[in-house]
Structure 1
Amino acid sequence: MFHTQQTVGKFIMVPGLALLTCLYMASPAHAKKDKPAPEAWSDWSSLGAGFLARRREPEKMDRPVSERRLATTQARAISKKSRSAKGKKWRQWRQWRGNAASSADQLWLYTTEEGLHSVTIAELALHSGASEARLRKKATKGQLSLTNAGSAVSWYFDPATDVIRFPATVYETFYTDTNAYHFTMDHSAAAPMPSSRLRRGKPVRTGADTAFIDTLHFEEEPDFSFSTGPVAAEPDADYWFWDYLYGGYKDQISVPLSIPYPAAQGTARISITLRGWTNLEYGDEHEVYARLNGTDIGSSIVWDGFDSAELVAEFDQGLLDPSGDNTLTLHNSYAAGTHPGQFLDAVDIRYSRMPVSDDDTLWLHNVKAGTQRVGGFSSENITVIEAPAGRSVLRRDILVEPDGLGGWSASFETRAGVDYLVVGDEGDYLASVAADTPSSLAKKSNSADYLVIAPREFSGTANALASYREARFGRVSIAWLDDIYDEFSDGREDPAAITSFMTRVQKQWRTPPSVVTLLGKGSLDMKDRMGYGDNFIPIAMVSTPWAIAVSDDRLLDNDTRQGFAVGRLPITSDEEGLAYLQKLMSYESGNIDAERYHALLVADNADSGGNFAANSEQMAEHLFATAGFDQISTLYHPLDKVRNSLIQSATWQTGYVSYDGHGSSGQVGDGTENFIKASDAALLQNTTYPVFAALTCAAGDDSMPGARSLAAALVLNPTGGAIASLAPTGLSLDQDAQQLAYAFVDSAFAGMNTVGDAVRDAKVQTTGAIGEFMPRIYSVVGEPAVFAR
């Protein structure tokens, strides 16, 4: 059903998921003309109130996360995850920026864990091209620099194992869990870790097992547990949740909390982050209370609507299980006849912990002054680092002895308020290494008429596209995504780095570009929780009345009134990008035949959302009168057999195809009509490639992990489909979409502008006349500098 606001699409609140229907209607990506895999559906599950539901799922959802990446999705060139160094089997990781033998005085070291990290001299030599002897000499003399977000990081060289070690801190945002350390072969920020002097007798006695205050963060993000609706007013919010409550149908949830080695006494503090996913009642709708190991803790928290809330409680540590295994239970309370819903996002615990290591490593925070003992280590080879997050000192004055429990302990003098990192033989990690290719994106002297933004995985497509567009644009530049991260977010992955880069480009480059092309699919799953590995160019979101939606204009800080034409090729492999480029070159080099002056207008049946056939009739008159079309065909549901026609290649032998009506990311028409699906679009064999205008909901939304939108399937079909598409990434208002479409066809066909310029013109011309969010969710799928004729 359509909303009274004339929304082209459907919005549902699925209990516990509250997801847009468009997120479940996408089809898996297919790069070639292979027959698509059969559509997969989840099992039926209860939504409460007597309703059942299932969702369409991408391929391989029945497999482990590590096995889900599709064959058509190119693997990322490097793993940035920390790896355990157990057994000291130093691994060589593939690099992704330049050749291993190239000369690079600068490297990036990536970590994902808190603790001591190692990198071998051999691996540094492999990625830098420097000799091991040179690196070893510099390390011995302390003439190497390591920085994190511009601040010097302490390190030390262990000649016995030929490794450099450094303490790393956790860096985690909604977009990444990877921290980045910049390594240079100079002493500009050198901070070699000094060693403490050995005091006679070392500590005179075994230290006390003094507890310290530790903080733990718990957050699970299961498959499909994202919801873009409740955060509609917060485009930068965390939209991936752990679990949910639903009044009357799911009144409690339990989650395990591993809280190791709690002290017997003390007061602990828990903070539980929640968000409402219903807004159905007047006044405060939500009430949630918590129990830990069966005992009530704190008071309930009450709030309303889609806001986030934090339940905070202090409790006696006697409630914590000495084994470390604890259960948190959340319960909701509600008035009879109401059904409020709440998401659980995360849990944080602050408690007094005994000094016993986990996995041969322990970071003690803000300790007391005295002689401290830390036990639980696997061998007598124990390293102690004072102030690991600051001006570190490698402590030599430690007493190592059996801890009386089958392991080993270290005792050492401590200073009040200082952190200490204590690591055993198997407690450090291996950092991932990549060469830092020099870049100068921030220079004011830069100029570009046409700009490509791409990951280096797609260097073949990026270089070929840049070379091809040089014939029309004098200055074509490529901004590699990792260089943007290096210069604008300290090597960390963050969509805001692209935004900052483009702000600088527009304000400070000598000549800013008039066209920007993004190469790579973006995904809601930026951390690759689900394992599809298809977030190549990240996304930014904007608010709409119903949910947040993808907006490349926001990502690129593009004010269309003074900005540039933008398009995205949501490719998942270099092969796929090169195939599209061949299609583009064929399209632009061929003769403009009569079919380019033909159009096909497709419309859904009229309902409360709009009279779609009447809209199309008016558009047909406009195209005849102003855009030079000499033949216009129509397909109107239910009078015509729309699906039978739309899946035929001959139907697409035309210059312009427009669809007006219901739709979702992977199809147009509702779930029973299926006028054309992404899997159908991938099989088309037409030889004239039209421009496709999707005046519907979400047909250009490629953010679903492991899936492809209808618009992308049409555009990336290498031997059929469309050459480019104007399509929305979220729910769309029909009458507003009509105004955008009129302005678009006037600019593209009557004005003879490129598709990208026509979309930009349409957004400028409709400013103030349509919903503020509408221009931001409509974008070009395809290369934006292509002409419609």
Structure 2
Amino acid sequence: MRLPSATRRIPLLLALLLVLSLALAACSRGDKSPQSRPPSATQSSANAAAPVDAVKIVVEEPGLYRVTAADLAAAGFDLATQEMAQLALTAGGAPVAFSMAGSGDEQAITFYGEPRDSRYGSQNIYWLNKAQSEAQPAAVAAADASPSDAAPVTTFRASQHLEASKNYLSQVTDTDDHWLWESLFAPAVYTVTFDLPGYAGGDADMVISLWGNSEDRSNPDHSARLRLNGETIGESAWDGKGWKTLTETVPAANLLPVGNELGIELPGDTEAVVDMVYLNQVDVAYDRQLATTADEQLAFSLPGATDLVVSGSAGEDALVWDVTDPLMPVALTGAVADSGGLRLRTTVGDAPRMVVLAEPDALLSPDAVLPATGADLRDNPEGADYIAVAYPDFIPALQPLVEHRRSQGLRVTVASIDDVYDTFSYGVPDPAAIRDYMRYARDNWTGPAPRFLLLVGDATYDYRGFLDGSTPNFVPTYLLSTHFVGETASDNWFVSLDDEDDLPDMAVGRIPAQTAQQVEDVVAKTLAYEADTTAGEWDGRALFVADNEQEGFQTIADNLAADAVPASYQIDKVYLGSSDNPTSQIVKALDEGVGLVTYVGHGSMNVWGKDKMFQISDSNALDNNRLPFLVTMTCLVGYFHHPTATSMGEELLLNPKGGIVAGLMPTSESLATDQTELATNVYAHMFGDAGTVGEAIMLGKRDLNLDRNLMQDIIETFTLLGDPALVLQKPG
């Protein structure tokens, strides 16, 4: 919890360390291939695929792809019985031109594929359908590329992009890519080694992107020097926290075809107490020879109507495609092979032409070909009150809760996250697909509109799996910018369905499980809670826990206990300073049974209070069979999206022996005054007109005073961990 700035100041260095400890994951990415989550059991069992009318072709690098009839047959798609006019290839809903040739198992389609440029993943999905869809078949057009008598060019301007995603920084601005390469504390040197494939001589242009991550009263805060192969090529000094771009032209004498060493040095020659800089990326533009090898594709850009000659192994059987429009490439014909190489002429056009050349053996194979067997989630004539979006392998464990909610009269729909992607984001992972699903259900299904959204599966800010040991992204969250910690998780975003405001239109909750057993545990706790016949003996007790009074936390707790909770509750209090061992008092109260727990004070991912009144290890050890609902007026306790650590809020919910039945907790930092208003509103609805805890939270957010500058962060980042349709046990 943060107090208003008038009553609280944090020294610069302490603030820097706090941000580093909470928001920065400094693990190195291994050599594994990035993936957002493991394949589900349904994705992994395609050995004997049933016949299908569509397949998903997965690609992760740019180039010309060949997919054979045998590849497609393994996924259940029979290419041999199809004419080209009966097929349609699409990506992102747009038609993609392709060619088809051959016979038998070697019959194949060829197309130009590109990866996604997205923080949510690099894999792209190309859909091959039997053409009964809106997309119409598109054959690759041809254009004459016969060479003229003009002198041909033999080089092109190539670009070498150097980047590694090793460090996550939530507070970088002006980008949705929060992954940086290397952190440097002055004095320091970091060396980047790189080659220049096909280097043809001449100068190179280098662009180095840096992020200054510290600031001081002195000016400048930062100083950097660039050395290439032992020679200084540039230096710069700048002030403040933010992006810095260094641009240098490097003479040919300083460049090597292989083994260039770029040193980024922070000499530490400023007056700043701390000079911390992140290297983000390096781009090198240089002249490259137009030359090929038998097993590699060559991609190059040249002006329109340019004669060129490609040396190396390329012959007249090479595929040469103009991919300036990557969805509608054009096959270039008429190239002539002679002793000097393959001669051709780019097509006429005002813009530079992007061309890919590949010999037959260099055509790429897709990363995977998967049967498209998912459900179309738009088709739901019954409508729904309650929608669960789950990782596929977790759906069986969820079924007892589904049946329980149906027995209460709710119309329940359970959707695999894969089907959500297939229906609303063309098969590629994207959190927006969940929101679009909710909007579609509200606007098109039989009414009344859905009331509840339950997300079943853990999430992470490491969408692409850069970090070793990163939590898989079972069901993603949405990351948005906040005032104090930069970007953080917002499940509220999924149910904020009107563009004119960010208020929730549905109740949303999450079971942040990483295994089916964890889903079973939470479901069992939820069902046992609602069926508890001892309710009335213990659920009429409310426990208020508060941090130090010097910052007003105990007064806030007193006011809430007196004004927001019905008089029928017995109020118990554990305040810092009132006991030599507040932890044991909290555990004792939970063991005896309380219906409601409220914490007010400082917090982080794994602790309540600066004096550690209650820690994550305490939550793991709980063995209470009477489960309270938890409201935390603090910071970061619900930070469920950390890729390598578990928050206290998650541990309390996932504890199979006890803990809590559900809880309202933040994924960010915010002000005590704003948190108090939310808690007051939630209690008013929880003990008033709301039938469920999720609806009490939704209505409590909708009642907030939006004229307060930072109230938006409260709406977006206070998250329900647990079932939004949970009915609170109340005294009497």
User: Do structure 1's residue 179 and structure 2's residue 118 form an aligned pair?
Assistant: no
When residues 284 and 764 of structure 1 are mapped into structure 2, their CA distance, relative to the original with a 3 A threshold, is: farther
Q: Is 1:522 matched up with 2:459?
A: yes
- Residue 174 of structure 1 contacts residue 238 of structure 1 at CA under 8 Å; is this kept in 2? yes
CA–CA distance in structure 2, aligned partners of residues 359 and 603 of structure 1: 70
Counterpart amino acid of 2:320?
Answer: I
**Residue 583 of structure 2: aligned partner:** 643
Q: Secondary structure at the match of 1:682?
A: helix
The corresponding residue for 2:180 is: 241
One-letter code aligned to 1:185: K
CA deviations on 1:404-457 (whole Å, 9 max, x unpaired) are xxxxxx624232535022246366233312222354445797832112222323
Q: Which amino acid aligns with 2:171?
A: G
Specify which of 474, 488, 491 is matched with residue 427 of structure 2: 491
Instruction: Note if 1:538 corresponds to 2:476.
Output: yes
Q: CA deviation at 1:124?
A: 1.8
Any residues of structure 2 matched to 1:695-714 within 5 Å, and which? 695-714=633-652
Match status 1:762 vs 2:700:
yes
- Relative to structure 1, the CA distance from residue 301 to residue 269 in structure 2 (aligned partners, 3 Å threshold; closer, same or farther) is farther
* Alignment partner, residue 219 of structure 1: 163
- Matching residue's letter, 1:184: N
Which of 185, 192, 204 matches 1:255? 192
Question: Residues 542-584 of structure 1: CA distance to partner in whole angstroms, max 9, x if unpaired?
Answer: 3333222211112443557561111111111223212211221
* Aligned twin of 1:29: none
Report the CA distance between 1:110 and its aligned residue: 1.2
> Taking structure 1 as reference, are residues 21 and 327 closer, same or farther at Cα in structure 2, changes over 3 Å only?
closer
Q: Counterpart of 1:167?
A: 112
Matched, 1:430 2:375: no
Aligned residue among 491, 502, 510 for 1:552: 491
Q: Which residue of 1 aligns with 2:82?
A: 138
Partner of 2:216: 280
8 Å contact from structure 2 (residues 204, 251) kept in 1: yes
CA shift, 1:106, in A, is: 1.4
Q: RMSD value over aligned CA atoms?
A: 4.0
CA distance in 1, matches of 2:267, 2:631: 46
Contact 2:591 2:623 in 1 (8 A): no
Call closer, same or farther: CA 1:100–1:597 in 2, change over 3 Å.
farther
SS at match of 2:539: helix
- 1:173 is displaced (CA, Å) by 2.0
Matches within 5 A, 1:367-386: 367=302, 369-370=306-307, 372-375=309-312, 383-386=318-321
Please give the alpha-carbon distance, in whole angstroms, between the structure 2 residues aligned to 1:694 and 1:359. 62
Q: Which amino acid is the alignment partner of residue 129 of structure 2?
A: T
Q: 2:538 aligned with 1:595, yes or no?
A: yes
Report the TM-score when normalising by structure 1: 0.79
1:521–1:570 contact (8 Å) kept in structure 2: yes
Query: Is the Cα–Cα contact under 8 Å of residues 507 and 698 in structure 2 kept in the other structure?
Result: yes
Q: Is the CA contact (8 Å cut-off) linking 1:652 and 1:721 kept in structure 2?
A: no
Counterpart code for 2:683? V
Are 1:615 and 2:556 an aligned pair?
yes
User: What do residues 515-562 of structure 1 show as CA deviations (whole Å, max 9, x unaligned)?
Assistant: 111112111101000142421222223333322221111244355756
* Aligned residue number for residue 34 of structure 1: none
| Alpha-carbon shift at residue 373 of structure 1 (Å) | 2.3
Structure 1 CA distance, aligned partners of 2:395 and 2:11?
A: 39
The one-character-per-residue Cα deviations of 1:254-285 (angstroms, maximum 9, x if unpaired) are: 322333122113x4333322323224347775
- Alpha carbons 2:180, 2:279 under 8 Å: kept: yes
Give 1:113's match in structure 2, choosing from 58, 61, 82.
Answer: 61
- Decide whether the 8 Å contact of 1:652 with 1:690 is kept in 2: no
Q: Secondary structure at the match of 2:43?
A: coil
- Maintained 8 Å contact 2:459/2:476: yes
- Equivalent pairs, count: 705
1:505 deviation in Å? 4.1
Amino acid at match of 1:662: H
Residues 118 and 68 (structure 1 numbering): CA distance in 2 closer, same or farther, change over 3 Å? closer
Distance 2:217 2:293 in 1: 47
Counterpart of 2:728 in structure 1 is: 788
Matched residue type, 1:708: T
Question: Which moved further from structure 2: 690-699 or 742-751?
Answer: 742-751
Displacement of 1:699:
0.4
Question: Aligned partners of 1:334, 1:179: CA distance in 2, in Å?
Answer: 46
Alpha-carbon distance in 2 for matches of 1:184, 1:392: 22
Matched, 1:472 2:408: yes
Cα distance per residue 1:58-87 (max 9 Å; x no partner): xxx799565999xxx983338xxxxxxxxx
- TM-fit CA distance, 1:612: 2.4
CA contact (8 A) 1:320 1:326 kept: no
Amino acid aligned to 2:204: A
The 1-side partners of 2:425 and 2:73 are apart by 26
Matched, 1:360 2:295: yes
Provide the residue aligned with 2:350 in structure 1.
none
Distance 2:82 2:217 in 1: 67
Taking structure 2 as the reference length, what is the TM-score of the superposition?
A: 0.84
Cα deviation 1:116-147 (Å, max 9, x = unaligned):
3343423422323x4xxx412426x5643222
Partner deviation per Cα, 1:455-506 (whole Å, 9 max, x = no partner): 3233324555433322235422234333333344333222233334434444
Give matches, 1:47-196, under 5 Å: 66=32, 75-77=38-40, 95=43, 101-128=49-76, 130=77, 134-138=78-82, 141=84, 143-149=86-92, 150-159=94-103, 161-186=106-131, 189-193=136-140
**What amino acid maps onto 2:559 in structure 1?**
Q
**Which deviations, in whole Å up to 9, do the C-alpha atoms of 1:200-226 show, x marking residues without a partner?**
xxx999x9781122223221111xx11
Query: Structure 1 residues 726 and 650 mapped into 2: Cα distance closer, same or farther (>3 Å)?
Result: closer
Greater shift in the superposed pair: 210-219 or 277-286: 277-286
Cα gap change, 1:621/1:754 in structure 2, threshold over 3 Å: closer, same or farther?
Answer: same
Higher relative contact order (CA 8 A, sep 6+): 1
Give unpaired runs (5+ residues) of structure 2: 348-352
User: Quick check: 190-199 or 473-482, which moved more?
Assistant: 190-199
Q: Which whole-Å CA distance do the structure 2 matches of 1:691 and 1:639 have between them?
A: 24
Partner Cα distance (1:778, 1:11) in 2: 27
1:580 counterpart = 2:522: yes
Contact 1:268–1:349 under 8 Å retained in 2: yes
Structure 1 residues 348-367: Cα deviation after superposition (integer angstroms, max 9, x where no partner): 22222113447921332224
